[in-house]
């Protein structure tokens, strides 16, 4: 069993030398933001790619650049336009921070992206990884990136069993990443190690037999590649059931509102919602106090009830159904909602859970 010791200058130099050799001779990974020097474009790509697959992020990056070619365009854009373009990426707090930071760069930095790591890190929604990426790619500053790909490479190369999600793990892997960094060409090195983790040192079926680092890789030498990196146990996710009522007036309008703060999908639109911590029967909801409060004694015609939908989030699972109801006239108990034409719903930003139904409203039954 190989022991994990401090990183020597020789190990550092060898790792970087082999990595950069692989990058120049074998790395064929192509992405539209690769080699980019414009900090605005780098920032945009990094924010979009957080918790997003590269294949999905590529199209969003191109759409955002087309709509907002500069930080000035993004800063001036109506929030609803930005949210609508972001629709489908999830983690909408990233989008809110994107807007706030664009406006801050324009108002406080005259539209010029700050050029020091500390100033970049101070921007809203930018953490150590994104700050290091922008600082190294745009300004060639010696700050190592640390994402899932980099953690996997380092954990296997050094046989490190520290869970990276712990405080101690984050500190340990950050230290190792910065010690390995080629200070003379940090941008090229950072892109190379991320690509290496994505192409060679993959989560499953890594290309160990042809890996340029294998002769010094502890995980390979000790046959522990599949065990690393060590992950912390995942906490149980909260279960929530959402039952949405699409209430249609005779003239084709329906009720929507923005979700409030301090919960998922903040500032996105939704229909009238009944939430519970366990599955419910839509028939029973329509005879509950909730229905009396929101719908009063007005005549309701149930047009159809959807199949069940589900969305898995990082810390919770959302399940539920959609109930479409025809009204004889608008309801007085829904003053906090706005009435909009049903045909204009595509212009509003809804969460993925609702869009899944809007674009596939399969009923399980048409009437009670």
- Report the SS3 class of residue 296: coil
By DSSP bridging, strand 269-270 and strand 338-341 are: unpaired
By DSSP bridging, strand 316-327 and strand 363-365 are: unpaired
φ and ψ at 274, to 5 degrees? -115, 120
Fold of the CATH domain 238-365 = Nucleoside Triphosphate Pyrophosphohydrolase (3.90.79)
Q: What is the DSSP string of 8-67?
A: PHHHHHHHHHHHHHHHHHT-----TTTT---HHHHHHHHHHHTTS-HHHHHHHHHHHHHH
Q: Pick from 320, 329, 328: which is nearest to 272 by CA?
A: 320
So which residues are the catalytic ones? 46
Token look-up 């309801």 returns: 331
Three-point CA angle 160, 165, 166, nearest 5°: 85
Domain with CATH 1.10.340.30 in the chain: 9-227
Token look-up 């001779």 returns: 25
**From CA 183, how far away is CA 33, in angstroms rounded?**
22
**From CA 302, how far away is CA 71, in angstroms rounded?**
47
Instruction: Name the maximum alpha-carbon separation found in the chain.
Output: 80
Domain with CATH 3.90.79.10 in the chain: 238-365
The percent helix, strand, coil of the chain (3-state, each to 5) is 45, 15, 40
Token look-up 């639109």 returns: 269
Task: Decide if domain 9-227 falls under CATH 3.40.228.10.
Answer: no
Write out the two tokens for 331: 């309801």
What does the pLDDT profile of the chain (368 residues) look like in tens digits?
Answer: 554 555 555 556 789 999 999 999 999 998 888 889 999 999 999 999 987 888 889 999 999 999 999 999 999 999 999 999 999 888 889 999 999 999 999 999 999 999 999 999 999 999 999 999 999 999 999 999 999 999 999 999 999 999 988 889 999 999 999 999 999 999 999 999 999 999 999 999 999 999 999 999 999 999 999 999 998 887 889 999 999 999 999 999 999 999 988 899 988 999 999 999 999 999 899 999 999 899 988 888 999 999 999 999 888 999 999 999 999 988 888 989 999 999 999 999 999 999 999 987 665 554 43
């Amino acid at each position: 069993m190989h022991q994990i010791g401090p990183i020597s200058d020789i190990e550092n130099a060898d790792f970087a030398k082999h990595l950069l050799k692989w990058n120049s001779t074998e790395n064929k990974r192509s992405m539209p933001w690769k080699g980019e020097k414009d900090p605005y474009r780098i920032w945009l790509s990094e924010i979009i790619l957080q918790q997003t697959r590269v294949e999905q992020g590529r199209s969003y990056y191109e759409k955002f650049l087309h709509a907002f070619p500069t930080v000035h365009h993004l800063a001036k854009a109506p929030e609803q336009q930005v949210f609508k373009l972001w629709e489908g990426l999830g983690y909408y707090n990233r989008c809110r921070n994107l807007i706030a930071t664009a406006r801050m760069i324009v108002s406080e930095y005259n539209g010029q992206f700050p050029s020091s790591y500390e100033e970049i890190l101070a921007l809203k929604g930018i953490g150590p990884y994104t700050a290091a990426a922008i600082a190294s790619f745009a300004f060639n500053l010696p700050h190592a990136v640390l994402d899932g790909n980099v953690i996997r490479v380092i954990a296997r190369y050094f046989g490190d069993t520290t869970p990276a999600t712990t405080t101690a793990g984050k500190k340990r892997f950050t230290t190792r990443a910065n010690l390995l960094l080629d200070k003379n060409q940090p941008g090229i090195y950072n892109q190379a190690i991320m690509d290496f983790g994505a192409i060679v040192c993959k989560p499953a079926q890594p290309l160990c037999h042809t890996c340029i680092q294998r002769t010094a890789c502890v995980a390979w030498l000790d046959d522990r590649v599949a065990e690393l990196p060590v992950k912390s146990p995942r906490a149980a996710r909260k279960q929530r059931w959402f039952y949405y009522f699409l209430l249609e007036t005779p003239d084709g309008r329906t009720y929507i509102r923005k979700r409030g703060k301090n919960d998922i999908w903040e500032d996105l639109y939704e229909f009238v919602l009944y939430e519970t911590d366990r599955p419910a029967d839509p028939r029973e909801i329509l005879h509950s106090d909730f229905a009396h409060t929101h719908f009063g004694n007005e005549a309701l015609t149930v047009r159809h009830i959807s199949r069940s939908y589900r969305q898995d989030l990082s810390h919770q699972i959302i399940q539920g159904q959609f109930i479409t109801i025809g009204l004889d006239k608008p309801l007085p108990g829904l003053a906090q909602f706005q009435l909009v034409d049903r045909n204009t719903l595509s212009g509003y930003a809804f969460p993925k859970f609702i869009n899944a139904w809007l674009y596939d409203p399969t009923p399980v039954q048409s009437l009670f």
